[in-house]
Chain A
Amino acid sequence: MLKLMKYELRKTAFSKLVLLVITAVAELAFLLGVFLKKDNLLAIGIVFLFMCAVFGVIYIGIESVNVLYRDLNTKQSYMLFLTPKSSYEILGAKILENGISIVMAGVFFALLAALDITVATLYIGGLKEMINLVSSFMEINWSVTFTPAEAAFYFFGLLASWIVYIVNADLSVILSASVLAGKKGSIIAGFLIFMVISAIIGKALDLIPVLQSTELTFVIYIAAAFAIAAVLYLISGWIMEKKLSV
């Protein structure tokens, strides 16, 4: 499994490297803006760092679906399916590698944001004032109040939801390449299946009651999201094992 994951990482290494380089350049612009008190550089740095964080995490997920599509629909599929590994292992390695990449990217950008806010407040203003400013802004505009722990749970909840939708997209790609293979409109049918399952997942997650403890609510939400991902994975693995011809 680890060897499969190593090669999954290798397939997406280039784009992850590009993301890292863009982030490094944006970070440099941000730090120069802070230290040299250049507002333009600071603004460019913040905008690009924000975009790298949001679109980076989204892109890592989408790219994994694209890699799966290639691995099922081109001759490079032989590289995977000639190995003495089951479909469950092959798919599991893909999902695990991607899930870990998404969480690591999320944590990386969160830590970078925390570090940048600290640096900025040390040089520009007080940290406490800045946090208070952000909190009051959110409270006034969206009536949202978060403790740091709640913010962390909310963040991991978002990542867990994203992983579920990626696994769901994987299932649709697998259906298109197996059960629907050779049939007219298989890609559109796969997309419609993705939309229907996504709607069901959304409804299922909405059923989770909001408890008094926000942390507990998020723990249940994240556990439910991973349980759904596990079910989708088992269904996808079974379809690959029984129906997929490459």
Chain B
Amino acid sequence: MILESREATKKYGSKTAVNQVSLQLEPGLVYAMLGPNGSGKTTWMKMVAGLVKPTSGEILYQGNPIGKESRKEIAYMSTEPYFYSWMSVADVGKYYEDFFEDFSMEKYRQMISRMELTEDMKAKKLSSGMMAKLKIAVTMARGARLYLLDEPLNGIDLLARDQIMKSILEAIDPDVTLVVSSHLVDELERVADAAIFMKDGILAKQCMVEELRIDEHKSVVDLYREIYGHGGEEVC
């Protein structure tokens, strides 16, 4: 087990964004984190990344609380742009190289070149599609043990989506865990080993994709429809 979430809860005033989520992540697997907007996916990922402090419960990375040490091995890609406005594509790479020992500038350069970005481009002037590519390139150029990718395919056209998925899948390794959230359930089903369904801040379901297919003759898309289309009651 690489990560354990023990009844992790995050409240913002009277609103509970994540409610007692308990789950475990195993190394070498790709997890699809699914759920509609406001279901708690992003907040849970931010708690794992150390950006958000749980109100109660805890999250352990390799047995230790989230903090400075875990951030050395966890790579998080936010759905929103977050680079400093003065940064160029080259500056973004330099920044990651300065702070993350596992960052490979060579890999970063290969990825930005493949994604048709150039080092002199200003981050603040990139279109949303280009920005998504930059975020993926700089995140996947790290040699992290756990990747958390929040909506990496958001607002991306079909061709760019293939490029991004290819970059993500290159990281698959027996020692690496990937958690990818997306509204594009069918896109993720092709690559995911396991699925995590979030609803109203609660963990609605966690299951292995292959077991779901063999044992219950259901696809992740089928299950998604059942959970979110019929009030979210547990169905498998």
Q: From residue A4, how far is it (CB to closest CB) to chain B in Å?
A: 8
List residues of chain A with CB within 8 A of the CB of B67. 86
List residues of chain A with CB within 8 A of the CB of B10. 245
Question: Would A84 and B12 count as touching, CB distance under 8 A?
Answer: no
- Taking residues whose C-beta sits less than 8 angstroms from the other chain, chain B's interface range is 20 to 34
Question: Would B68 and A3 count as touching, CB distance under 8 A?
Answer: no
Is A83 on the interface with B (CB-CB < 8 A)? yes
Q: From residue A244, how far is it (CB to closest CB) to chain B in Å?
A: 7
Name the segment of B78-86, B161-169, B191-199 touching the other chain.
B78-86
Question: Would A246 and B52 count as touching, CB distance under 8 A?
Answer: yes
Quick one: closest A residue to B52, CB to CB? Answer: A245
Is B147 on the interface with A (CB-CB < 8 A)? no
Q: Which of B40-63 contact A (CB under 8 A)?
A: 46, 49-53
Q: Which of A185-205 contact B (CB under 8 A)?
A: none
Quick one: closest A residue to B11, CB to CB? Answer: A182
Is B100 on the interface with A (CB-CB < 8 A)? yes
Quick one: closest A residue to B14, CB to CB? Answer: A182
List residues of chain B with CB within 8 A of the CB of A245. 10, 46, 51-53
Question: Would B68 and A76 count as touching, CB distance under 8 A?
Answer: no
Is A128 on the interface with B (CB-CB < 8 A)? no
Question: Would B51 and A81 count as touching, CB distance under 8 A?
Answer: yes
Bound-state Cα–Cα, A246 to B12, Å: 12
B78 interface neighbour in A7, A75, A86, A244, Cβ under 8 Å: A75
Known A84-B99, A245-B53, A246-B51; contact A10-B78, beta-carbon cutoff 8 A: no
List residues of chain A with CB within 8 A of the CB of B50. 81-82
B84 interface neighbour in A11, A183, A244, A246, Cβ under 8 Å: A11
A84 interface neighbour in B72, B80, B86, B95, Cβ under 8 Å: B72
Most A C-beta atoms less than 10 A away, residue of B51, B78, B95: B51
A-B contact list, 28 entries, CB within 8 Å: A6-B98, A7-B98, A11-B84, A11-B86, A14-B86, A75-B80, A75-B81, A76-B83, A77-B51, A78-B51, A78-B76, A79-B84, A81-B51, A82-B50, A82-B71, A82-B76, A83-B99, A84-B69, A84-B71, A84-B100, A86-B68, A182-B13, A244-B53, A245-B10, A245-B46, A245-B53, A246-B51, A246-B52
